[in-house]
Every structure is written in structure tokens, then in C-alpha cells.
With several copies, the nearest count.
Chain A
Amino acid sequence: MSLDQDIAHIRKEFPILHQKVRGASLVYLDNAATTQKPQAVIASISSYYEQYNANVHRGAHYLANLATDAMEKSRDAIQHFIGATHREEIIFTQGTTDGINLVAHAWAMTHLKIGDEILVALSEHHANIVPWQQVCKKTGAILKVIPLNPDGTWVADWKTYINAQTKLVSVGWVSNATGVVHPIHEMVEQAHNAGAKILVDAAQAVSHFPLQVAQLNCDWLVFSGHKLFGPTGIGVLFGKLDLLNAMEVYRTGGEMIKKVSFEGTTFQEAPLKFEAGTPHIQGIIGLGEAIRWFSNVGWEWIHKIEMQQIEWMKSVTAEVKALHWIGESERKTALYSFWSPQFHHADLGELLDQQGVAIRTGHHCTQPLWDAWNMSGTARASFALYNNEEDTVQLQKSLIKSIQLLIG
């Protein structure tokens, strides 16, 4: 089949894409914020509630067994998908933000002390900055920052930011502001050489290339289900098993305990240890389904379509020279941040929206980056596996029309 037919095939599975917005066909290019869901995922949610909704684990009945089984099968699917060694290394969280907070509270708060250093990069998402600022406030550790080249890559001497004081490195694999893919494999090695632990924020990586965490050898890795064609409210924290078992608890309550008494309470091992309370069962099942669906599409095809989208976008960026396109690094995902000194990104976004083109404008939760670059933010078009050539054509047309309107 041709690429066109393949995309057409995939687009059919996403009901939301086939609608008019303000009279125009929807062009959804806000995938870095959240991806749309294939029918299979939506159906998995309905059938969960229509057929076997029940609380899990405590189960002593038929429906509870079905729900528990389905939930644990999702854990297996995720383990397999990200290449983890043990199923117990897969912790269900609310999302990327929750996963980072978990590590901040259950590890960093008690393992860091005055003078220790946490290393992030300038382009981190707020979710990968603010929790560490809180840790620094409580522990006296210091937050160090790798600066960026103008193209959004880490400065050439980024390794010099790691030293004997570095106890934790926490970096985004792919920037949600620029689309740049950072050299995470090298970073893991450098961090470990210095005796530091490393957390990888894979929120923007997980739907673009295989993570292979065991091979990568990172200590923790986090991502959100809603950016991987799965439901909202669910995410994953991967952690090395020994490390997970050595960490403090975070949220406490039902399910994560071995024995509760007023004299003293003992806790389960990972993953239960970190999964207090009734889990987001439906979200877990939906994420499992999303991963099955996504794996079925396959990495080969995902790589192919992304390369193609980048190719299409080359002609857009070449045609619309009036805009500044940033993050044009060699290793990038199909995510395009752009701006103009002549008009505000909010104006651009509003006019694109009037033409049915959904992009995001603003600071994209990376304010320190824009402050350093003396900008107020950008407009951002971000692609997923269902975006076709027509989407880029519409983006280009609408950009040109918007610019015409703005310069009047």
C-alpha cells in the first residue's frame, strides 16, 4: 500500500479527526499537548464499563477477576513495550508530572543533602523543574542547568555540568518546545560514571521511537498515556526494581500495605507499594489497548511517516520564510515551533484556529527557555502518525492567510 493509503487507513480509526471546525476541516496539530484516540481505545473503555467494571486486587468475584487480569495484562504490555526487565518495574501514575513528583518525594527528598546537585537542561518542561526546586528548598541541594545552543541542542560541553556533587540528572529526551532529541544514551553513561542517578522524561519521546529502558539503563523513566493515544489520567513510572524497593513510600493508603496496625504499618514491594488507593483501572486498560494498537502499527511505519512529515514540513518552512522556525536540529521529531518579531504568537494561533487548524501557542510550560532567549513563547505545530500531507498544505495556506491579515 502507498503511504497515502496507509495514513487514510489510520485516520479512519480516529473518529475525532473527521469533523468541521468553524466550517473548515479540522487539522489537528496539537499532538505534543495530547494525542487523539483510536476507536479501539475508546471501545476498550466502553466495554470495560459495560462488561467488567469492578474494583481490583481485593477481588473475590468474577468481575473483579476480569478487571484485575486486564489491569495486570496492561502492565505486561507496557513492560514489553518499553523493554523493561521486570513487570514489577512498571508503576502506574497519573501522568508524567505525577511520576516525577513521586521520585522527588520518595527518593530525592530523603537522599539529597546540602551541596548535592541536581542537573536539568534549560529546555525542561516545568514538570521537570518545579519538583526539583521544591526538593532543593527542603534539602539544600542545588539545581544546575545545562544551557542550550540557539538551535535548541545542549551546549557542546554539557558533560562538564556533571561532577562529583551531581547526585541526580533529570532530563527530557525530546523537548516539547523545540522537538530536539537529546543524547540521552550518552547522558545516562555520564551520569552513572559520576555516580549519579538519572531520570528520563520521555513524555515527548514515547510515541516517536522505542525507549528500551533496560538497554538504555536509566534509573527512572516517565511518560503520560494521553500522549500515546491512551486515556487521560494515567501514566507510567519505570524504575529499576532494586531502586524502587529501596525508595520511601509516597501516597499511602489501601492496596499498598502489607499490614496496618496502630502500632506500625508495613508496606508491599513495588509496584503495589506506589499504587495506593483504587487505581485508574479504566485508564490502565485503555493505555494497554493503546499500546497494543500502536505496536500493531509498528515502529517501522511510525518512523517512515515521521520522516515523511518532516519532508513535507521542509516545503512549508521554505515557503513561509516570514516566520522564524526554531529547533531545526538534525535529530528532531516532527514538532515545529515558530514565531515572528512582527506579531504575537497568540494572534497567529487565533487566526489559524479560525481556519480549523489546531496548534498551541504560548510558553508550552518551558518559561525559563523563552526567558533565556528573550521571547514570550512560540506557536507550535506538532505531528502524530495520522497527520497527512493535506494537513501540512492547510497549515501552510492558513499561515499565509493569517500573516496577510496581520500585516494588513
Chain B
Amino acid sequence: MSHIAARQEEVIAEFQMFPTWMEKYEYIIELGKELEGFPEQERKEENIISGCQSKVWLTAEKRENGLIHFHADSDAIITKGMVSLMLRIFNDQPGSEIVAADMNFLTTIGLLENLSQTRSNGLAAMIKQIKTYGFLLQ
């Protein structure tokens, strides 16, 4: 199992601990608050992922170890929590694995069924951008 798949399993296990929507959202909001600081100079139009109701900024760099490191942020806290979840899974992985990753864990954690259409469109756009970076920085 790839690192990414393993982390997905982790996240799924974690979410299973929260039976109610409130607990799930509480956790996501917490994740949002913990997300590491986003470099101010990168908070610009070209880093915005379109397709989300709230704004999402995403940047990526290939570090010396050959792995890809993402920075992301959002002006909405729930989105920020989702972003944080994504980064936990994808951060510091090789581009090839990012591109190859299977994303159906989102359904599995029973979050997506609670998510609005706009939200899941936004997530899809985010994943697409993450994979694009993965591909470009391979």
C-alpha cells in the first residue's frame, strides 16, 4: 500500500469515530484552525482554485528530497479543514504517487454525502489542482 493510501485509511478510521455530523464538523473545523500558515505573498489571484464558493489558495514546491510540499488556505473555515485533510494525505509525497492516487476515500468517510454539491465540486477542483501539481513537479 502506498503512503497516500495508508493515510487515507487512517483518515477513514478517524472519521468512523465520529458518529454525528456535529462531531465530524467539529473535527474538520479544528483541522482548519490547525492548518499551517500560508505565505502571505502567495495569497494572489493566480493561486486561487476556481469552482469553490469560498476562496481556496494552493501552491506547491518540489523540495530537495524530491517530494512535493503543498501550502493551502481558505477564507472559509470548513473549507480550510477539508484542505487540511487533503494536505495531510498528499503532502510530501512523490509526484507520481499523487497522480496515481485513488480518491474514493472521500465517499468512504461518509463526509461527501453530507457535503453540498458546491462543496464537492470545490473538492474535485482542489484534487484536480493537487494532481496537476503532482504531474508538473514529478
A-side residues, CB < 8 A to B, are 22, 59-62, 64-65, 68-69, 343-344, 346-347, 350-351, 353-354, 361-362, 376, 401, 405-406, 408
Q: Can you identify 9 A-B contacts, CB atoms within 8 angstroms?
A: A60-B53, A64-B116, A65-B116, A343-B76, A346-B76, A346-B79, A347-B76, A347-B79, A350-B78
Residues 105-138 of B at the A interface (beta carbon under 8 Å): 114, 116-119
CB distance from B92 to the nearest CB of A (A): 27
Main secondary structure of the interface of B (DSSP, over half): helix
Q: With an 8 A cutoff between CB atoms, is B40 at the interface?
A: no
Q: Verify B114–A22 contact, CB threshold 8 A.
A: yes
Query: Complex: how many Å from CA A64 to CA B116?
Result: 9
Contact yes or no, A361 B117, CB < 8 A: no
CA distance A362 to B54 in the complex (A): 9
Contact at A61–B29, with CB atoms within 8 Å? Answer: no
On chain B, the number of residues with a Cβ less than 8 Å from chain A's Cβ atoms is 20
Q: Is the interface of A mostly helix, strand, loop or mixed?
A: helix
- Chain B's closest residue to A362 (CB) is B53
Please indicate the chain B residues that have their CB under 8 angstroms from the CB of A64 in the complex: 116-117
Known: A343-B77, A346-B78. A351 touches B114 (CB 8 A): no
Task: Please tell me if the beta carbons of B76 and A344 are within 8 angstroms of each other in the complex.
Answer: yes
Q: How far is the CA of A271 from the CA of B80 in the complex (A)?
A: 30
Nearest CB in chain B: distance from A75 CB, A: 14
Contact present for A59 and B116 (CB under 8 Å) = yes
Interface string of B24-36 (1 = CB under 8 A from A): 0110011001000
Contact of A354 among B55, B79, B114, B118 (CB under 8 A): B114
Q: Is the CB of A376 within 8 A of B114?
A: no
Q: Given A22-B21, A346-B54, A362-B53, decide whether A406 and B117 contact each other with a Cβ distance below 8 A.
A: no
Q: In the bound complex, how far is the Cα of B110 from the Cα of A350, in angstroms?
A: 16
